[in-house]
Amino acid sequence: MPRFKVEVTVMPRETLLDPQGQAVEHALAELEFENLSTVRIGRAITFDLERPSRAEAASDAESMCRKLLANPVTEDFSVTVEAKS
Amino acid sequence: MTRVAVVRFPGSNCDADTYRACERVGAEPRYVWHREESLGNIDVVMLPGGFAYGDHLRAGAIARFSPIMRAVVEHARSGGPTLGICNGFQILCEAGLLPGALVRNACLTFISRPLSMRIEATNTPFTNAYSAGDTFDIPVAHGEGRFVAEDAEVARLEAEGLVVARYAHDNPNGSVNGIAGICSDSRSIVGLMPHPERAADELLSETRGSLMFESIVRHAGVV
């Protein structure tokens, strides 16, 4: 069965205050990186999936996000799926 | 006799204090391990504080899928009194038994200190022994205690009197409207971030947390 590498990114929803992002933004500014704004911090989760097709791999990955990997009240998620050679 | 199931997850650490607080008011607590499928014959469920599953992924995110949670959800949805304290509150939100979510404190630090909390809704099985407006010192100990919810949901909670407790003076974690605890529409499911089981002993100079446990005994007497 084909193997796929899945990368999930979970980010705080836009409307949610992200104090961690703010702290990092201040730290980067102190390091004199200019014209920087809207730092947001989330998490990346990667895994391999053996599925008959890329579409099924993506669909299952999205179900995993909805069920466990992301909290829909506070987080958005995105999924990328690549075939593994 | 009010029988209380104190559920233990791997990483729960306030179970003993919660158990003892129940004992002190004459309730009959018993521990239930998270892998059990049944709560047994009990009247009340309590999810204690701690770090179930190390708070990995999100606090309460994995614990909500523990085998015992099927029975907890059934108990809660049938109107069985269900209290989640701190990590327990986080688990109730992740399980969808309470609205909103608890996220990282706005100040980014873990807060561990007593602060002033005001009881607002007294028509729940866990707050009927209080008078509305009762304010007392109670410890908090959390890194992810900031309560958030959609604006419309917050407005609804406020309008329908579902805010059980509020931080009375300083808001330690940035919770919307200083909300420290809420209840379900049915009022029988309550989530609270501060620790009443740590304000229930003369030795700790504050005993008004014990009224939260006294309330379930009174509730049993009335129902």
In the predicted model, what is the mean pLDDT of chain A?
A: 97
Q: In this predicted structure, what is the pLDDT of residue B222?
A: 72
Within 8 A of A73 by CB-CB distance, chain B residues are: 93, 99-101, 148-150
Q: How confident is the model at residue B223 (pLDDT cuts 50, 70, 90)?
A: low
Contact B49, B88 (CB under 8 A): yes
Examine the pLDDT at A7 and tell me if it is beyond 80. Answer: yes
Q: What is the pTM of this model?
A: 0.96
Residues of B near A (CB-CB distance < 8 A)? Answer: 57-58, 61-62, 65, 93-94, 99-101, 103-108, 148-150, 174
Q: How confident is the model at residue B120 (pLDDT cuts 50, 70, 90)?
A: very high
Q: What is the DSSP string of B156-218?
A: HHHHTT-EEEEESS--SS--GGGEEEEE-TTS-EEEESS-GGGS-BGGGTB-GGGHHHHHHHH
Q: In this predicted structure, what is the pLDDT of residue B124?
A: 98
pLDDT digits (tens, 9 = 90+) for B160-207: 999 999 999 999 999 999 999 999 999 999 999 999 999 999 888 889
Greater model confidence, B47 or B220: B47
Q: In this predicted structure, what is the pLDDT of residue B221?
A: 82
Orientation of helix B211-222 relative to helix B15-24, angle to 10°: 60
ipTM: 0.91
Taking an 8 Å cut-off on Cβ atoms, the answer to whether B103 and A74 are in contact is yes
Q: How far is B219 from chain A (nearest CA, A)?
A: 32
Residues 6+ apart with CB under 8 A from A10: A42, A43, A44, A45, A65, A69, A70, A75, A76, A77
Taking an 8 Å cut-off on Cβ atoms, the answer to whether B108 and A20 are in contact is yes
pLDDT digits (tens, 9 = 90+) for B55-113: 999 999 999 999 999 999 999 999 999 999 999 999 999 999 999 999 999 999 999 99
Beta strands in chain B (DSSP E): 3-8, 28-33, 44-47, 82-85, 101-103, 111-119, 135-142, 146-148, 163-167, 179-183, 189-192
